[in-house]
Structure 1
């Protein structure tokens, strides 16, 4: 059931202060709480008018009015949706994923107090809840890219329906599979120079603490296969499905991100606030492990190419949501570079959005 809410709230509710001083960043960087009142905050999208939209896993879609790096008002533009994790902005409208449906809120920037009834773009996506919530985004081709994860930890599902990234026209027509063998991507972006797709992919569970790796993949064209369910992490054959499927038949990852770190939202950094060597780097939100004997993840990492733009390396950028004795107080879910060059990080565990800035030390 969908219920559109015509409610708005002034930012700054009564919440226990988050221990933001525990977050460690490189010299010159600072982090602040943009809002601590966005429950289950997941993917983020910014409108040209400066309204920040955030999806969630608790049925709500939020809108935060921003001014000078601060929230001036919070609005709930929808509730009662089915895990509306993904949000994307296109031609004056907000697109929202809700498991089997994609909804569109037209002219929403000008109707935050009284949100319009959403238009159903499509209601023909799988309804499975396992890996069913979706990160969505518009590509340089004007198409809406929509993934559908595998409906399991490990299985061999219909490749036309699951473990894929698809794309469609903004009105939901011409649905086509763009990439196969993708177990569960919850973040992707396009290289600002080449306009080619990059995406994170979560590896399977129950093969031990240290295999297989989550992956950062590169899909410069349609029709590529990234290995699921036959191969994981680029070089780990699945014990049930791997026989007879050599890894040479699949596209390997560009970067192995580590096992069980739960790499979710990712974006290329195109701003000018950060040092020049951050230009066109990739930031990835690591949500953190849930079933590893020792916890890993719970941080934001930076993917840095070498001088030739190849052989990228991974560096920890922000950490501290996981305390030394494995106490967790936050789980990064998405990252979003802002027009002023700052970087936003959503946290669905703390129900918060953080803003990271830089000043020459």
Structure 2
């Protein structure tokens, strides 16, 4: 009996040393003393088991200690959560009780096969695919066979509209019977120069193209535009960052992003503009290198914006950002980035102190795109209290940070409660992307709709 007790106690000592060694990468602190302590416990445990219980017992104690320590590590830091959390989001999340509770609610992450309904099979040429989804999340195909779909908007009848920049069209996707599948596709407008951002206001569809903003009037809802009106035609044409995000603010004005490139000059570039119905334009925020996502907070009315940062500091250095915009706010580019960090060539601490820091910093090449608040989603409270953010990703070798739909937990007041968590991922497998999620919008049915430029489809994401 004594030898059994001795074996259990010594194996517990050995397991503790193994556990500390495995846990060090997940701790917010680690130092050489901790490593020394853990290895000392392992060595002492091995020696004492061999001395007091025999070599045979040692062969049993080693796998028991390793398996038990690993089981405890997996319980505290589930492996799928480790992969589904971008650790650059928020350093306080490790100690945030709200985030820990959320983490329990989105587990387990499971692999869901993407089924292609019979009516959509003709437009799907990507074979059998699967996506990693959080607990309570389900993904289905809403539309296929689209030519690089980009931005989304929903009208007051619940019809989904999509811009197709490559072919210059805006189309309406109609689900006539409410089964979650598109039955009809109507071309609303064509001949545009790379239409991107879409937004509805008072029943009118506003479309941002590479150089203009149009208003499309369809008063009877028959998908035939009665009048096409040019609201503004002086947008600067940018070679690479030609796409614009478009949103209707709480003040019922249009807000429009304008991208920039290294070396660009001009008052409109790298900004978000406010645009009235009469076509008058004013700067609302500056210093946003490539803003591709705008959303209005449902409570405060503040405008939230993504920013896909430049690679001037190297492909894996310059962080991408999530910002909360304020009137006349300067968000740094080209002098500062992230949390008021000065650019090595152009910036200085003095300049950066006058800029607005990002609310979240994302890993470089996350390529944040669409944004949507989840207050209108149908599902449990965690999903209604999230900001949904599409990270399109960039295909730079194996270090891919995007290709996922993130959920950022928020309080009612809009305070970020912790890290963003993967809700859907798996569009890139072993460094080879097969899909590129781009924009998102909450539909009238409470589901989240996401475009995929590469796969040419729209997903319908529902929540328990």
Question: What TM-score comes out, normalization by structure 1 length?
Answer: 0.88
Q: Is the 8 A contact 2:204 2:218 kept in 1?
A: yes
* Larger helix fraction of residues: 2
8 A Cα contact 1:20 1:31, kept in partner: no
Out of 128, 131, 135, the position equivalent to 1:27 is: 135
Unaligned runs of 5+ in 1: 1-10
Residues 14 and 231 from structure 1, CA distance in 2 versus in 1: closer, same or farther, beyond 3 angstroms? same
SS class of match (2:191): coil
1:281 deviation in Å?
Answer: 1.3
2:242 to 125, 132, 146: 132
Higher strand fraction (1 or 2): 1
Rounded Cα–Cα distance in structure 1 between residues aligned with 2:171 and 2:382? 33
Report how far residue 308 of structure 1 moved: 7.5
Bigger Rg, structure 1 or 2: 2
Which of 135, 150, 165 is residue 42 of structure 1 equivalent to?
150
The structure, 1 or 2, with the larger RCO (C-alpha pairs under 8 Å, 6+ apart) is: 1
Q: Secondary structure at the match of 2:353?
A: helix
The 3 A distance-change label for structure 1 pair 301 and 249 is same
Q: 1:121 to 1:224 in 2, by over 3 A?
A: same
Query: What secondary structure is seen at the aligned counterpart in 1 of 2:433?
Result: coil
Cα offset, 1:244, TM superposition: 6.7
Report SS of the residue matched to 2:241. Answer: coil
Separation of aligned partners in 1, 2:243 and 2:349: 32
Q: Which residue of 2 aligns with 1:4?
A: none
**Distance (whole Å) between structure 2 residues aligned to residue 122 and residue 232 of structure 1:** 30
The 3 A distance-change label for structure 1 pair 306 and 45 is closer
RMSD: 2.1
Deviation of 1:70 (Å): 2.4
- Which moves more between the two structures, 90-99 or 299-308? 299-308
The corresponding residue for 1:338 is 443
What is the aligned counterpart of 2:173 among 25, 40, 64?
Answer: 64
What's the TM-score once normalised by structure 2's chain length?
A: 0.70
Q: 1:70 to 1:250 in 2, by over 3 A?
A: same
Aligned length: 342
Aligned-partner SS, 2:382:
helix
Displacement after TM superposition at 1:329 (Å): 0.8
Match of 2:424 in 1: 318
- Distance (Å, rounded) in 2 between the aligned partners of 1:77 and 1:222: 34
Residue number in structure 2 paired with 1:147 = 257
1:255–1:86 CA distance, 2 compared to 1 (3 A): same
Gapped regions of structure 2 (runs ≥ 5): 1-118
1:15 aligns with 2:123: yes
Secondary structure of the structure 1 residue equivalent to 2:239: coil
1:178 matched to 2:284? The reply is yes
SS in 2 for 1:222: coil
Given the alignment, which residue of 155, 158, 161 partners 2:268?
161
Q: Measured at CA, do residues 209 and 128 of structure 1 come closer, stay the same or move farther in structure 2, by a change above 3 Å?
A: closer
Q: SS at the partner of 1:270? A: helix
1:145/1:165 contact within 8 Å kept? yes
Aligned twin of 1:247? 352
Task: Tell me how far apart the structure 1 counterparts of residues 364 and 220 of structure 2 sit (CA, whole Å).
Answer: 40
The answer for the alignment partner of 2:363 in structure 1 is 258
1:101 has 2:208 as partner: no
User: How far apart, in 1, do the equivalents of 2:287 and 2:331 lie?
Assistant: 5
* 1-structure distance, mates of 2:215, 2:416: 39
Distance 1:222 1:206, change over 3 A: closer
> What's the CA shift for 1:330?
0.5
